[in-house]
Structure 1
Amino acid sequence: MKALSYHGRHDIRYGEVPDPAVTSPTDVVVQVTTAGICGSDLHIYDGHGFSPETGYTPGHECVGVVAETGSQVTRFKPGDRVLVPASAGCTRCGTCAAGFTARCEHAESLMDLCYGVSPQLQGSQAESVTVPHADVNLVHVPEGISDEAATVLTDNAPTAWYGCRRARIQPGETVLVIGLGPVGLMAAQSAFAMGAARVLGVDPIADRRAFAATLGVEPVEGEDAPTAVRDMTAGRGPDAVVEAVGSDDTIELALGTVRQAGRVSVVGVSQNTAFPFNMGMAQIKELEFAIGLCSVHYELPALIALTQAGRLTPEAVVSHRLGLSEGPAAYELYNSRADGVLKVLLDPAR
């Protein structure tokens, strides 16, 4: 089949790879109809991947149709329309059974849990993908939810909701979102759905700030974001901050701008093993700090219901739709942050 593969820094290739197969009676092969490129895929693209190996298919966001099922699969049949959550649980431990797949008791690393970060679980930027333990790791897509919305629901929207939930956003509060890519924009939508009165947004790219404003976000303008945030909150600071970038600078911005006794929730992917966390500052501010990886399965029921009710519009963050064969150029575009790029979707039929 045709797929993308990762061969080193800034080296994504489109070509033939082995067909996925049902190798266990609990497997399902999904024919991909839409795949997404995630911001965390750019870590891999930039040479800061989660595995030193190359040659594997990246991607952990896709929607498709069941093509083949193993003999022990009971919840799905060929022709079912499904979304593939970014994380895959073992289904045997208690945490996975409760939906917290990111905390799987049998996983030794992220490579055991997430599609497309190593050869251990081949990714979904392909014509088809194998889903292990499919009765738990697949989700039916309800009628009325588009492929675009469903693809965002595989990772970006759940990550954003998880970040807001862990920030404990309360009705009437002011929330700051740092990073206005797809996760940040979905965090803004989520904060409003949770009752935030105001959502402020920080991003260095003017096009992203302008688009966020169409969703009700108040863009933080100027080069001095801390001062601007203080001015916009009468010197108090936001009640909660959701950080959706993962860089040292943006995490420090979150910690520095949040109000006294405020909450900071980091969902941006950080690979810094020695982040200089200012414990004294955090203690004096009586700060609450949360960081983690989203268990998509746990968040999805609420998000699907909110999407069906029109309270969330995941498809709003999609800016570009390209063919899978254009994958190398799609990565280059997304990495450049040019042309108003937000969410890039890939069509395996092209």
Structure 2
Amino acid sequence: MRAIVYQGPGAIAVRDVPPPRLEDPRDALVRVELAGICGTDLHVIAGDFAGIQPGAVIGHEFVGVLTAIGSAVTGFAVGDRVMASDFTACGRCRCCERGDHWECPERAFFGTGTSFGLPLAGAQAEIVRVPHADTTLGRMPKGCSDEAAILLGDNLATGWAAVERSGLLPGEIVAVIGGGTVGQLASLSAQAAGAGAVIVVEPSEGRREFARANGSLAASPQEARELASRVTDGEGVDVVIEAVGGASALTAAFDLVRKRGRIISVGAHAAETWPFPLARSFANELTLGFAIGDSIRLRPRLLSLITTGALDPTVVIDRKIGFAAAPQTYADLKAQRIMKAVIDPRL
């Protein structure tokens, strides 16, 4: 079968690879009808995560049709159209029972090697194996497009998880650092959750314009502090969501947040350490938290928002391709010439 594989730092290729097979009674095989390219995939191909090896199939966002199920899979049948979380979870352990699926000891993150758990081939392929299918997969409902389901599996779940973790109250002011896909969806999530205003902080004018067109205020990093002060009468914003995944962006959050405010980071971090402003955080009673999207837990709530029309995440998708265009599309994403791309293996 065809798939997009990691070749080494900075390089991918479309290759023929052996198709997956059922390896456990709880597995399922999905014929991929749409896959996404995520900012985390850019970290993967850059070599930021040590757990990925050359030849590995990448990608972790997909929807498709079940072509085979293991004997222990009870919630689905061959032929069902399904969406998926970007990682797997057993659904039975203590972590899963309390909704902390990312902390499941059997977690595997599609297409990232051993960087975040057990190794598992990715979804930018014609067929993908899904462990713990009853937990990892969800049935495609009416009123949810394939594109929306792709985003629900990771980017939208991540943006919503940031808002959820922040404890946002209606009317509070939010700043989102980073105007990529996750940042824009965090902004839309905050708006849907009742934020009084959202400021997207982003160096790209094109992405700032996108944020403004979709209900946010926007500022360059140099303008952000002044705008946040103006909107909040000098106090600073109630919540800052860091959606970049770097030390400088996380440090910048402390210049925007009010005293006793909250900072939530959902960017994918690869660095082991970061100089934490301890005395300032103590004096200002700041809260710093981290969140990872969990579409297994959030799927019912987000599907309700999507199918009722309260939230349309698909506005961030600006390119649809076949496999052959993947190398150029990855380059365009890295250069920020596009925001979000999806792959149709049938093209």
Alpha-carbon contact 2:161-2:291 (below 8 Å) kept: no
The answer to whether residue 54 in structure 2 is matched with residue 54 in structure 1 is yes
Greater mean deviation of Cα atoms: 276-285 or 287-296: 287-296
TM-score (norm 2): 0.95
TM-score (norm 1): 0.95
Aligned equivalent of 1:7? 7
Aligned equivalent of 2:21? 21
Greater mean deviation of Cα atoms: 43-52 or 193-202: 43-52
- Counting only pairs closer than 5 Å after superposition, residues 70-149 of structure 1 correspond to structure 2 as 70-104=70-104, 106-107=105-106, 112-118=107-113, 120-149=119-148
Q: Give the CA deviation at 1:221.
A: 4.0
C-alpha separation in 2, matches of 1:243 and 1:288: 13
C-alpha separation in 2, matches of 1:224 and 1:135: 47
C-alpha distance after superposition, 1:246-269 (max 9, x if no partner): 111111111221011111110001
The answer to whether residue 328 in structure 2 is matched with residue 329 in structure 1 is yes
- Match of 1:302, SS state, is helix
Q: Give the CA deviation at 1:231.
A: 3.1
RMSD (CA atoms):
1.4
Overall identity of the aligned pairs, in %: 37
Q: Give the CA deviation at 1:222.
A: 6.6
Q: Give the CA deviation at 1:285.
A: 1.1
1:52/1:25 CA distance change after superposition, 3 Å: closer
C-alpha separation in 1, matches of 2:98 and 2:167: 21
C-alpha separation in 2, matches of 1:54 and 1:100: 31
Q: Give the CA deviation at 1:224.
A: 4.1
C-alpha distance after superposition, 1:209-254 (max 9, x if no partner): 1011111100114734323432343211111111110111111111
- Match of 2:318, SS state, is strand
Q: Give the CA deviation at 1:97.
A: 3.4
Alpha-carbon contact 1:226-1:253 (below 8 Å) kept: no
- Match of 1:256, SS state, is coil
> Structure 2: 5+ residue runs without aligned partners?
none
Aligned equivalent of 1:276? 275
- Counting only pairs closer than 5 Å after superposition, residues 1-350 of structure 1 correspond to structure 2 as 1-104=1-104, 106-107=105-106, 112-118=107-113, 120-221=119-220, 223-338=222-337, 341-350=338-347
C-alpha separation in 2, matches of 1:196 and 1:241: 12
Alpha-carbon contact 1:318-1:343 (below 8 Å) kept: yes
C-alpha distance after superposition, 1:3-49 (max 9, x if no partner): 00001111101010110111212111000011001111111121212
C-alpha separation in 2, matches of 1:135 and 1:285: 45
Alpha-carbon contact 1:158-1:299 (below 8 Å) kept: yes
Q: Give the CA deviation at 1:51.
A: 0.8
Alpha-carbon contact 1:98-1:298 (below 8 Å) kept: no
Alpha-carbon contact 1:54-1:118 (below 8 Å) kept: no
Alpha-carbon contact 2:202-2:221 (below 8 Å) kept: no
C-alpha distance after superposition, 1:127-163 (max 9, x if no partner): 1100011111111110111111110010000110000
